[in-house]
Amino acid sequence: METLMMSGRPVADACKEQIKEKVEAAQKAGKKVALAIVTVGEDPASFVYRKRLLKITESLGIGSRCVELPGIATTAEVIEAVRKLNGDPEIAGILPMMPMPKQVDGEAVGAALAPEKDMDCLSPANGGALLIGKGRWAACTPRACMAILKFYKIPLDGKHAVVLGRSNVVGKPVALLLLQENCTVTVCHSHTKNLPELVRQADIVVAAIGKAGFVTPDMVKPGAVVVDVGINVTENGIVGDVAPEVAEKASAFTPVPGGVGVVSNVMMMDAVARNL
Ligand SMILES: Nc1nc2c(c(=O)[nH]1)N[C@@H](CN(C=O)c1ccc(C(=O)N[C@@H](CCC(=O)O)C(=O)O)cc1)CN2
CATH number at residue 146: 3.40.50.720
What is the domain-level CATH number for residue 77? Answer: 3.40.50.10860
Domain count, the chain: 2
Cβ neighbours for 120, distance < 8 A, ≥ 6 positions apart: 95, 96, 98, 139, 140, 169, 268, 271
**What is the domain extent for residue 92?**
30-129
87 is in an annotated binding site: no
Predicted local confidence at residue 137, as pLDDT:
82
Q: Does the pLDDT value for residue 30 go beyond 90?
A: no
Q: Does the pLDDT value for residue 249 go beyond 80?
A: yes
Indicate if 256 and 175 belong to the same structural domain: yes
19 is in an annotated binding site: no
Torsion angles phi and psi, residue 99, rounded to 5 = -80, 155
Q: What whole-number percentage of the chain has pLDDT above 90?
A: 87
Please spell the DSSP secondary structure of 241-268, one letter per residue.
SB-GGGGGT-SEE--SSSSHHHHHHHHH
Indicate if 74 and 186 belong to the same structural domain: no
Q: With cut-offs at 50, 70 and 90, classify the pLDDT of residue 119.
A: very high
| Domain's final residue, options 102, 129, 156 | 129
Q: What is the pLDDT of residues 61-86, one digit of tens each?
A: 899 999 999 999 999 999 999 999 99
Q: Is the dihedral of CA 89, 124, 19, 276 positive or negative?
A: negative
Q: Does the pLDDT value for residue 1 go beyond 90?
A: no
Indicate if 232 and 201 belong to the same structural domain: yes
Lining ligand 1 with CB less than 6 A are 45-46, 48-49, 52, 95-98, 120, 140-141, 169, 229, 231, 238, 256-258, 261-262, 264-265
Kindly state whether residue 14 falls inside one of the protein's structural domains: no
Indicate if 171 and 95 belong to the same structural domain: no
Indicate if 215 and 233 belong to the same structural domain: yes
Kindly state whether residue 87 falls inside one of the protein's structural domains: yes
Predicted local confidence at residue 29, as pLDDT:
85
Q: Measured in Å, how far apart are the chain's first and last C-alpha atoms?
A: 46
Indicate if 105 and 39 belong to the same structural domain: yes
Q: Does the pLDDT value for residue 96 go beyond 90?
A: yes
| Domain's final residue, options 106, 129, 152 | 129
Question: What angle separates helix 260-274 from helix 9-28, to the nearest 10 degrees?
Answer: 20
| Domain's final residue, options 71, 106, 129 | 129
Kindly state whether residue 167 falls inside one of the protein's structural domains: yes
- Given ligand 1 and candidates 264, 269, 272, which is best to mutate, with the most ligand atoms within 8 Å of its CB? 264
Kindly state whether residue 19 falls inside one of the protein's structural domains: no
Indicate if 164 and 245 belong to the same structural domain: yes
Identify the CA nearest to 150 among candidates 2, 22, 267. Answer: 267
Indicate if 152 and 104 belong to the same structural domain: no
Indicate if 58 and 91 belong to the same structural domain: yes
Please give the distance, rounded to the nearest whole angstrom, from the Cα atom of residue 47 to the centre of ligand 1. 8
Predicted local confidence at residue 197, as pLDDT:
98
Q: What is the pLDDT of residues 176-228, one digit of tens each?
A: 999 999 999 999 999 999 999 999 999 999 999 999 999 999 999 999 999 99
